[in-house]
Chain A
Amino acid sequence: MNKLITILRKENFMPLLEKAGKNYDVYLPLHDKKNGIVDFCELSYMSEDYVLNPGEKTRKSPKFIFFPQTEKIFDFEYIKDLQKPDKVQIKLKEKTDSSEKDIKKKIIFGLKPCDTAGIKSLDLVFGEGDRKDPAYIQKRAGSILISIGCNLIYPDCFCMAVGGNTFNFEFSDIGLADLGDYFVILKKSENNEVAEFLKENWNFFEERNLSISEETKIKQLISNSEEKCRLNWKEIDADKINIIMDKNFNDKKTWKEVTNKCISCAACTYVCPTCVCFSIGDELRDMDGERYKCWDFCTNYYYTLEASGHNPRSEIYQRYRNKINCKYNYFYKRNKILYCVGCGRCIDVCPVGIDIREVVEAFL
């Protein structure tokens, strides 16, 4: 029996995004020709300095789209009472009307399956459970995640080792396979947003029967990329790794050995698709103030510095140990998935060449 598939030709691709750009905020991975960095940019960046190569891995993860590096929480104001000069009152201003950007629905095109797994992890932290972050939910609501299966497996990619897959579309709304001249839609979510999006832009898509050669080609792509990815690291047993991490928590010698070269910067955490730590600060100008949150990182000396001056994690190995345990132990205990999605960005970006695979392997 013939299977009906939907395809999107590559020449229809940019017109589709441009049309969608009127109703949505569109993000796509653009390759900056000047400095060689690939990053998720808004559609308006599209110019001769940038090229779009679908399937390229970005330097930074897409988490900043839903969880910006700096975000205002609210404004406040100090009010002095002339009758009681020693008392200062604080007046909270209503959260300034959400900017148009926050409300506009988002389309992120060109995510890798590991990126969507990262966004799923963010959902678990900010969007589900009994504590929810309204700012995150507002940005995340109604967004459409369009991911492409990985034809290109980077030397650092190891999603297969941590329970992912190179063509895993579980967490994406639309999943595509790149067949050269056109994309084939392998997965469509059943929700309203996707249906609406496809209906609005149906003239860019084509529906036809899946040919046998196409079917084998897709199968070939999937098995090829899986095979390559498997080479990059062996599979981690998620049920056991947290026990191993617990057991080795006090193995100071090994932890010191593997983190000897760490310089405790934030490069790995800031590019990580799942690191969610933030700090909250107030900023004052005269009598007006602003409370904001911005990214923080657990390898930071100030992260655990207490007001008394005591720092429970004063040494680098303690802080790095927390980072690894967060990924392979603590989060798994809460949510039953590993917090490392295997994108390998931290390996690429580390100034001193720390490889998270080698660190974990030291305890296996």
Chain B
Amino acid sequence: MAEGNNKFYQEDKKSERKGYLRTQIKENPENIKQKSMIESKLKEKIKEKFDTLELVIAYSGSSKALRVNPLFIEKESDIDKIVFNSLCVNNLAAYAYFKSREINGKIGIVLKPCDAKSIVQLISEQLISRDKIFSIVAGCSGVIDYKKIFKFTGGLKVISADTDDTGIRLKTIDKDYKLNLNDFYADKCYSCRIYDNPVYSDEFIENDKKPNLESVEEYADIEEFEKLGLKEIESFWKSEFSRCIRCYACRNICPLEVCRDRCIAQLESPHWQSQKINTDEGKFFQMIRVFHLAGRCTECGECERVCPANIPLVKLMKKVNRDILKLFGYRPGYSIDEKPPLLTFKNIEENIREENLVNE
């Protein structure tokens, strides 16, 4: 591709790129030791298994502060680019379905224990076959939700971030911050029980570092939210969805929404949903998502993470999931063999009494 007479090529690429690659996270030596322990174990394991895998999906560093990128490894030399740290918030199971259809061989995916639930759900719904995915689950010490940090800085501005045990020191384009790390873990981390005990894995790599978080009751936030009156709830969602731009990022990042190129919200005929972009249509589209994911969502929080409008979508998912738990005693993503309750039926449901329905 390179051409001698073009001015781009004559310059040393590495030194050119230094400018915008100045945002890598620096950690203190102790953390690096911890980090490299799990990271090097991970790399070793992948190297060991690499011959049997056609593609490995893992995390790599990013040009942006506080972010990591998905990394697709086809050459063995790329394994050294792998990172695994508290910034690895992405759920790489998002690629499981589509890449397993594209590629004939086996795909290795690096997962956190919570991400493994998405793989379990995909397998239990027979959307992917168990022997096509090799899940490498790495123990997790909690992941940082960069969006929470961006709320302080006004988004975009972070240039670099240093973390140590007490907090994060942020350098942004106009101010410097020192923030307490404990406030910035992803919401799901506060009620996580499976960080060192994944429900499913082909290979589990233990992490010596454990999360050190004040744990929160699983659906406490939903119960709190439900105490609001209907009017308040309605106006809350109205103001949230007024920002929706219907970019479909929430749908496309979801590991379980494998319908993205066949979505009923975008079909021209039959024309189920208007293509208009406004508060009501955004809300309606989200209702389609909620019902599609009822009893399937593993609450990985990716939809909320990717939303450019910062709409708290996980609230909706959690509400439905809690109701499913109450009705059917079912948690999505915990068992490969259990049939999801909404994909089957029983003659008599223990918790749904028909006479109750009539009375109500």
| Partner-B contacts on A (CB < 8 A) | 31, 35-39, 53, 56-57, 59-60, 69-70, 152-156, 158, 230-234, 237, 240, 244, 248, 251, 254, 257, 260-261, 263-267, 269-271, 279, 281, 283, 292, 294-295, 297, 300-302, 344, 347-349, 351-353, 355, 357-358, 361, 363-364
| 28 A-B interface contacts by CB (under 8 A) | A31-B154, A37-B243, A37-B310, A59-B309, A70-B278, A154-B156, A155-B20, A155-B23, A156-B64, A234-B16, A234-B19, A244-B6, A248-B1, A251-B1, A254-B1, A260-B70, A265-B306, A266-B247, A279-B275, A292-B276, A294-B275, A295-B277, A297-B247, A302-B266, A347-B64, A352-B70, A355-B64, A364-B9
Contact A231 B19 (CB under 8 A): yes
Contact A261 B261 (CB under 8 A): no
- The answer to the question of B158 belonging to the interface, with a C-beta cut-off of 8 Å to chain A, is yes
- Given A36-B150, A351-B253, A353-B70: A152 and B155 within 8 A (CB)? no
Question: Which of B20, B154, B248, B278 is close to A266, meaning CB atoms less than 8 Å apart?
Answer: B248
| Partner-A contacts on B (CB < 8 A) | 1, 6-9, 11, 13, 16-17, 19-20, 22-23, 62-65, 67-70, 72, 90, 94-95, 150-159, 173-174, 243, 245-249, 251-253, 260-261, 266, 268, 271, 274-278, 302, 305-306, 308-310
Given A53-B154, A263-B260, 11 extra CB contacts under 8 A: A69-B246, A233-B19, A257-B72, A265-B248, A266-B245, A267-B308, A279-B275, A281-B268, A283-B274, A352-B70, A361-B13
Tell me the interface secondary structure of chain A in the complex: loop
* Neighbouring A residues of B22 by C-beta, 8 Å: 231
Contact A37 B155 (CB under 8 A): yes
Contact B156 A348 (CB under 8 A): yes
Question: Which of A152, A265, A348, A358 is close to B252, meaning CB atoms less than 8 Å apart?
Answer: A265
Distance, CA A353 to CA B87, complexed state (A): 13
B346 to chain A, nearest CB (A): 36
Distance, CA A267 to CA B251, complexed state (A): 12
Quick one: which of B94, B153, B158, B306 has the most chain A CB within 10 A? B306
Question: Which of B249, B275, B310 is close to A265, meaning CB atoms less than 8 Å apart?
Answer: B249
Quick one: which of B17, B173, B174 has the most chain A CB within 10 A? B173
Contact B20 A265 (CB under 8 A): no
Question: Which of A267, A279, A292 is close to B247, meaning CB atoms less than 8 Å apart?
Answer: A267
Contact A348 B276 (CB under 8 A): no
B186 to chain A, nearest CB (A): 15
A303 to chain B, nearest CB (A): 10
Closest 5 CB pairs of A and B: A351-B306, A36-B151, A353-B69, A231-B19, A265-B249
- Given A37-B243, A237-B8, A266-B247: A70 and B276 within 8 A (CB)? yes
* Neighbouring B residues of A155 by C-beta, 8 Å: 20, 23, 64-65, 156-159, 173
Which residue of chain B is the closest to A344 with respect to CB atoms? B156
- Given A37-B310, A56-B154: A264 and B260 within 8 A (CB)? yes
* Neighbouring B residues of A355 by C-beta, 8 Å: 63-64
A317 to chain B, nearest CB (A): 11
* Neighbouring B residues of A302 by C-beta, 8 Å: 261, 266, 268
- Given A70-B278, A364-B8: A353 and B67 within 8 A (CB)? yes
Question: Which of A230, A261, A270, A358 is close to B63, meaning CB atoms less than 8 Å apart?
Answer: A358
Contact A265 B155 (CB under 8 A): no
Quick one: which of A38, A155, A261, A361 has the most chain B CB within 10 A? A155
Distance, CA A302 to CA B314, complexed state (A): 27
Contact A353 B68 (CB under 8 A): yes
A301 to chain B, nearest CB (A): 4
A281 to chain B, nearest CB (A): 5
- Given A36-B152, A231-B20, A352-B70: A267 and B306 within 8 A (CB)? yes
* Neighbouring B residues of A358 by C-beta, 8 Å: 63
Distance, CA A70 to CA B280, complexed state (A): 13
* Neighbouring A residues of B302 by C-beta, 8 Å: 351
Distance, CA A77 to CA B339, complexed state (A): 50
Contact A263 B252 (CB under 8 A): yes
* Neighbouring B residues of A254 by C-beta, 8 Å: 1
A29 to chain B, nearest CB (A): 10
Contact A38 B154 (CB under 8 A): yes
Distance, CA A300 to CA B266, complexed state (A): 10
Which residue of chain A is the closest to B281 with respect to CB atoms? A70
A67 to chain B, nearest CB (A): 12
Distance, CA A262 to CA B306, complexed state (A): 13
- Given A152-B173, A154-B157, A263-B249: A352 and B90 within 8 A (CB)? yes
* Neighbouring A residues of B154 by C-beta, 8 Å: 31, 36, 38, 53, 56
* Neighbouring B residues of A231 by C-beta, 8 Å: 19-20, 22
Distance, CA A153 to CA B277, complexed state (A): 32
Contact A353 B157 (CB under 8 A): no
Distance, CA A301 to CA B252, complexed state (A): 12
Distance, CA A156 to CA B173, complexed state (A): 11
* Neighbouring A residues of B252 by C-beta, 8 Å: 263-265, 351
* Neighbouring A residues of B158 by C-beta, 8 Å: 155
Contact A38 B20 (CB under 8 A): no
Distance, CA A153 to CA B156, complexed state (A): 10
Distance, CA A322 to CA B249, complexed state (A): 19
Distance, CA A154 to CA B271, complexed state (A): 42
A258 to chain B, nearest CB (A): 10
Which residue of chain A is the closest to B3 with respect to CB atoms? A244
Which residue of chain B is the closest to A254 with respect to CB atoms? B1
Which residue of chain B is the closest to A71 with respect to CB atoms? B276
Contact B310 A35 (CB under 8 A): yes
Question: Which of B64, B72, B249, B308 is close to A260, meaning CB atoms less than 8 Å apart?
Answer: B72
Contact B1 A363 (CB under 8 A): yes
Which residue of chain B is the closest to A153 with respect to CB atoms? B173
Contact B266 A59 (CB under 8 A): no
Which residue of chain B is the closest to A279 with respect to CB atoms? B275
Contact A232 B275 (CB under 8 A): no
